[in-house]
Structure 1
Amino acid sequence: KQNGHENVSFVAGNAENLPFADHFFDTITCRIAAHHFTSPAQFIYEVNRTLEDNGLFILIDNVSPENNEYDTFYNFIEKKRDPSHERALKKTEWLTL
């Protein structure tokens, strides 16, 4: 509101248990955060629940290599670099959620 935006609210919540009604949003974005979620599948469920029919979902996140050895190595390094890192999914994993 200090910037003149009257239609913006800030709500703290859990991405895997969003505190909003079904079909609440016309657009949902998630930027460089999903690799910190303990259950990406539950997050996607919540996006589907809270997004209105024909709504827009924009996801930008780190993607792990498809090769299993590289995937393991990449996520190991990321966890060492940032202990809050849970796991970066492969593109194919995101597409199955």
Structure 2
Amino acid sequence: MCLSIPMQVVELEAGGHVAIVARGERRERVNMLFVGPQPVDTWVLVQLGFAKEVVEAEQLALIEEALEALAASLDGDYDPQRYFTDLTGHARP
């Protein structure tokens, strides 16, 4: 199973069909043919060198929360009251 990671477009190349995307310090060159040319600052889901989907702000927040939960679980610090607030109805601390 491959996981798509949200990354932000920071630079366009080749008429917008290739972009440089970033997440923190990580930068990648990705193919934009599935989503078409996107403006700088757009968030896209990246998998195996391809931007697969444009991500809106609400969806990005949910993905980031899920990635935080995964990291906390791997660190042995998962608190079910803190994550997936959209599913549990709990307010985030």
Name the TM tier (shorter chain): under 0.3
More helix by share: 1
More strand by share: 2
TM-score by length of 1: 0.22
Which structure is higher in RCO with an 8 Å CA cutoff and minimum separation 6?
1
